[in-house]
Amino acid sequence: MTPDSIKKLVALLSQLPSLGPRQATRVAFHIAGMPTSEVTELARVINETARLKRCTQCFRIDELTTGRCTICANPRRDQASIIIVEKETDVLTLEKTKAIKGRYLVLGDLPKDGVLTTQQRTRLAALKKSIADLPGGIASEIIIGFSPTTYGDLNAEIVAGQIKGITQKISRLGRGIPTGGEIEFADEQTLDAAIKNRN
């Protein structure tokens, strides 16, 4: 019933984040139904992204062919202050605040089983090396910038264990009632955190 090329596309799309098999099937049929020029354009732009490289220091994908990204190479960013985040989009969101004066480390999709991937270990090792190369050989602060979810909390503990000794301070992003949020609808854990973090 389902054409082979649709099946193949569904298999590939299902591996992307936020696309389950059902959504992948719908997207695949949608793509197949687009005018040929649009299909070709989508394929071309996808191929274009293969040119992008990861920063050798923060492992963020950027418009570069080699070396460090614009954030890491910026002499005004504090190299001794690092925020470890899960993904590129977290960097984009945090940069909008202009509140991060240091640099980033993108760790990649957090594991659900509490075991860091080889790639993640490599990135943490590179962080340690870059910190060892600093004057003084120690970071002033490492913020673990994971979302306050079950997996975020689990992985935050694991990462904290890995970076002990290479930084003067380890912190996490504050928890509390989001701006615009109502106390009435906040859950108990959030309220508990908001009370502890009162200022």
Q: Which residues bind a second copy (CB under 8 A)?
A: 1-6, 8-9, 12, 16-19, 22-23, 25-33, 36, 39-52, 54, 61-63, 70, 87-89, 92, 95, 108
Cβ closer to a second copy: 109 or 192?
A: 109
Name the minimum Å distance from CB 95 to a second copy: 6
The Cα–Cα gap between 159 and 47 comes to: 34
- Amino acid letter, 55: C
- 138 forms beta bridges with none
CB 16 within 8 A of CB 49: no
- Closest distance of CB 44 from a second copy, Å: 7
CB of 128 to a second copy, least distance (A): 22
Partner residues linked to 78 by β-bridges: 102
The tokens describing 116, both together, are: 């860091």
- Considering the complex, state which of residue 110 and residue 166 has its C-beta at the smaller distance from a second copy: 110
- Smallest distance from a second copy to CB 131, Å: 24
Q: Which two tokens stand for residue 46?
A: 């996808």
CB of 48 to a second copy, least distance (A): 4
For the chain, the C-alpha Rg in angstroms (whole number) is: 21
CA distances to 64, 92, 98, 185, 199 from 174, rounded to whole Å, are 33, 19, 17, 19, 12
User: Measured from the CB atom, is 108 or 160 closer to a second copy?
Assistant: 108
CA gap 124, 107 in Å, rounded: 8
Q: How far is the CB of 135 from a second copy (least distance, A)?
A: 28
Is the Cβ of residue 36 or residue 199 nearer to a second copy in the bound state? 36
Our CB check for a second copy shows the closer of 1 and 195 to be: 1
Could you give the CA distance from residue 117 to residue 110 in angstroms, rounded to a whole number? Answer: 9
Nearest CA-CA partner of 104 in 55, 149, 169, 159: 55
**Nearer to a second copy among residue 32 and residue 134 (C-beta):** 32
